Chain A
Amino acid sequence: MYLSVEKHKNNLLVQLKGELDHHNTEMVRQKIDKQYFEHRIKNIILDLRGLTFMDSSGIGLVMGRYKNILENGGKIVMVNDNEYVEKILKVSGLLKIINVYPTIEKAMENI
């Protein structure tokens, strides 16, 4: 699992690559939350395009960040063009509450 967390103005850009399962969600959660709360960032852009695997542990991770951000008055959006990731996002109902864009630029424009 490769994780990159960068600050872009008021947004935290989180890019995930590789396999997101229960084994590595805790590490990912800690890294995202540390940056998010330390830098008092409002919004999160979650780029899932590099994921080769994601199960419901990843859904739990996204739902948890969604709750934090709502409490903070911010917004979360996802970037994805991967059909396997989309399938699990759809099953979980996440697509009904979080918008997905094909590129980071589009996500930045719409956040």
Chain B
Amino acid sequence: MEKNYMKLEFLSKSSNESFARVVVAAFASQLDPTLEELSDIKTAVSEAVTNAIIHGYEYREGIVIVESRIIDDEIIVIVEDMGMGIADVEKAREPFYTSKPDLERSGMGFTVMETFMDGLEIESIRGQGTKVKMKKKFNSLKDKE
């Protein structure tokens, strides 16, 4: 079984959104993903990190933690904040639902993560933070065998 692990911590600044998605994409590249798979993972990471900055910390300064694990041909990405937590996780997962309509948020963040990845779990505790766990299986390695 092939295993690898990495952890990244950064300030909740919007300029770090691109930093985080590029790092995870670079880590995932050892699985030899297709361009589409790489684009999917970048998009999903961007959604989760943006949520941590806007909703978790509400633009205040905090630390966002991104962990990623590779097990065989699957990648697991965990995005965690120690912010305010989600009041109603089921509601937040609904397409087009946003707690911040005045900011022109589309309400599609979790829907995009669900569609672009193969699994999405959300753990959130009010006042303590949110942990989003996503996984994706890459098919490109198998194609070569």
Binding site for B on A (CB under 8 A): 19, 21-23, 25, 29, 53-57, 59-61, 63-64, 83-84, 87-88, 91-93
* Surface stretch bound by A, among B10-18, B60-68, B86-94, B119-127: B10-18
Contact of A22 among B36, B50, B115 (CB under 8 A): B50
**Interface residue tally of chain B, by bracket?**
20 to 34
> Quick check: B106 and A21 within 8 Å, CB to CB?
no
* Surface stretch bound by A, among B1-9, B40-48, B73-81, B132-140: B40-48
> Quick check: A59 and B18 within 8 Å, CB to CB?
no
Main secondary structure of the interface of A (DSSP, over half): helix
> Quick check: B104 and A61 within 8 Å, CB to CB?
yes
> Quick check: A56 and B112 within 8 Å, CB to CB?
yes
Q: How far is the CA of A60 from the CA of B97 in the complex (A)?
A: 12
Known: A55-B46, A57-B50. A23 touches B39 (CB 8 A): no
Name the residue among B15, B21, B112 with the largest chain A CB count within 10 angstroms. B112
> Quick check: A88 and B50 within 8 Å, CB to CB?
no
Contact of A91 among B14, B17, B21, B111 (CB under 8 A): B111
B111: nearest residue on chain A (CB-CB)? A91
> Quick check: A56 and B106 within 8 Å, CB to CB?
yes
Chain B residues, Cβ within 8 Å of A23: 14-15, 17-18
Does any Cβ of A come within 8 Å of B53's Cβ? yes
A24: nearest residue on chain B (CB-CB)? B14
Chain B residues, Cβ within 8 Å of A22: 14, 17, 46, 50, 53-54
